[in-house]
Structure 1
């Protein structure tokens, strides 16, 4: 039953990528162009550091699948692409492995094909500390994702209905698993209030994983005998909204959900993300064009991210948070309702420029 569900998820996620894209709030984020801001490309570094983790690039392949023969083959291909491009990668939920140990190789193949890569295991918020450790051990994982998916579980015909123990479980896993823990949504977003709550539980890293990409409410609704949860389609906050909401929450955040191209990666970094991840488009690419197609796509993205940083005058991903951005449209309306000051983002390069000029003058 679990294997069939995992195959269903892949099929429906792939189908979503074939449909016209819906609203994506990344387009409400625009850079102010400064024509003399450009750098020498050789000065640009894609390396990012956060929460004791060091990645050579600010891009990762986010959690997708595992638990069936077909999904094991997909994980193999994704791992090879990660190895060839140097990007970190996360496996999909490992609940299938806890229920049936014979599925282990559909997840373990990631480490087999990518022995030196940064790999994240993935468990749900009902997992025991013992199972979290099993997941990390199976993959020799460098970090653990705990996914929050109450909306998906609610629509899923066979999903969980009790979410009351999640906070306590997360706290136990963080204390007992022995690797960095990243708490993530699955496409409905993490609010500032959620991030602050996670901090009290000992969590030090989060992936906001907002709406705008793969919609798991739609996937689970399509699996139902009657599509009677269609009113939940589009639920949650967009990734840019979550990033703006996360300011001053005190947690390094990663950005996934609706990342369509390198400009979205750079937008996410400019809004404070330490790295950006993608799933749906990478899944579609590996299914349609194989490993060579995905390697080509990721390589192009990394090159183009560096090119955009060069134009914007950002030597590192963190420097993008000094670039001026305009927040427009419904994203601006969201910020106004949440009390988020976006005006300062439009002129923040001035304070940095003044500081640099002052240092030059003193010299």
Structure 2
């Protein structure tokens, strides 16, 4: 049953991504172009660091699958691509392994085929502390993801219906394990209130994982006999909205959900994310073109992200938070309703005084101060 469900998830997710229009709220975020902002490519680094974690790049392959023969093959190929491209990777939910240890190898391949990479185990919020440690041990994991997914569980025919224990259990796990704990949504987003609650629970970081990527409420509704939860399709906030909503977060934010291009990666970083993940798009590339195609996509994205940083005058991913941003459309309406001052995002770069030579790299804000974290008081 669990293995069939995992295969169904992959099939339905691919159907979604093949039918997607490609438009989401990242398109309502644009950089102000400063024509003399550029810096030299050799001065650009892609390295990012947060909460004691150091990654050579701010891009990661986010949680997908595992638990069946087919999904084990997918995980093996994802791990190979992560190794070749040098990006971190997260497992799919390991609940199947915790219930049935015979499927351990479908997850273990993430480590055996990527022995020196940064690997994140993934569990749900009802997992016991012992179960969390078993998942960590199986992958020799460098970090633990705990996914929260009420909008997926609700239409899931065999889903959870008791959510009150999730917060206390997250707190227990975060206090017990000795590696970083990252709590992530599965595509419906984290509000600022949710992020503050997670900080109080003692987690290391939060992946906002907003609307715009794989819609798991829609997937689970597709598994129902009468598909009677169609009204939950599109539930939640977009990734861009979540990052704007949680500018005052006291824990680092990662971003995933609807990330389609290196420009979306740069947008998310400029909105305050410390790293950006993708799942469905990478899975489609792997499915259509194999491991080589995914490695090419990952390395191309990293090269193009460095090119964007060069043009924008951002020596590091964190420096993108000093670039001027314009917020448009429904995303701007969201900000108005949530009390977010978008004008400050558009005016992060100081205007040079008359007769002052600023030099390349200052026009975009990368060398001119006024970072998002300084603006909002965030400690990220």
Shorter-chain TM-score range: over 0.9
Query: 1:52 matched to which residue of 2?
Result: 52
Q: Within 1, Cα distance between the matches of 2:187 and 2:88?
A: 19
* Alignment-derived partner of residue 257 in structure 2: 257
Q: Which residue of 1 is the match for residue 175 of structure 2?
A: 175
User: 1:146 and 2:146 equivalent?
Assistant: yes
Contact 2:323 2:366 in 1 (8 A): no
**TM-score normalized by the length of structure 2:** 0.92
Counterpart CA distance in 2 for 1:38 and 1:356 is 11
Question: What residue number does 1:35 align with?
Answer: 35
Q: How many residue pairs end up in the alignment?
A: 358
CA deviations over 1:246-291 (Å, ceiling 9, x no partner): 1012111000000000000000000000011000000111111000
- CA contact 1:22–1:212 (8 Å) conserved in 2: no
Which residue of 2 is the match for residue 318 of structure 1? Answer: 318
Provide the alpha-carbon RMSD of the alignment: 1.4
Give CA-to-partner distance per residue, 1:26-71, whole Å, 9 cap, x none. Answer: 0000000000000100000000000110000000000000000000
CA positional deviation for 1:20: 2.8
Match of 1:25 in 2: 25
Task: Quote how far apart the aligned CAs of 1:123 are.
Answer: 0.1
Give the ranges of 4+ consecutive aligned residues of structure 1 lying more than 4 Å apart after TM superposition.
351-358
Which structure is higher in helix share? Answer: 1
Q: 1:326-337 counterparts in 2 under 5 A?
A: 326-337=326-337
Q: Compared with structure 1, are the counterparts of its residues 36 and 70 closer, same or farther at alpha carbon in structure 2 (3 Å cutoff)?
A: same
Q: 1:181 to 1:302 in 2, by over 3 A?
A: same
Number of the residue aligned with 1:136: 136
Preserved CA contact (<8 Å) 1:3 1:67: yes
What are the Cα deviations for residues 9-38 of structure 1, in whole angstroms up to 9, with x where unaligned?
A: 000011111103264100000000000000
* Structural mapping, 1:299-318, within 5 Å: 299-318=299-318
- The 10-residue stretch of structure 1 (70-79 or 248-257) with the greater mean CA deviation from structure 2: 248-257
Per the alignment, do residues 252 and 240 of structure 1 end up closer, same or farther by CA in structure 2, a change over 3 Å counting? Answer: same
How far apart, in 1, do the equivalents of 2:367 and 2:50 lie? 25
Q: Is the contact between residue 85 and residue 298 of structure 1 (CA under 8 Å) also seen in structure 2?
A: yes
Structure 1 gap ranges (5+): 359-363
Deviation readout 1:308-362 (Å, 9 max, x if unpaired): 000000000000000000001000000000001110110101177699689xxxx
Is 2:3 the partner of 1:6? no
Unpaired stretches in structure 2, ≥5 consecutive residues: 352-361, 370-380
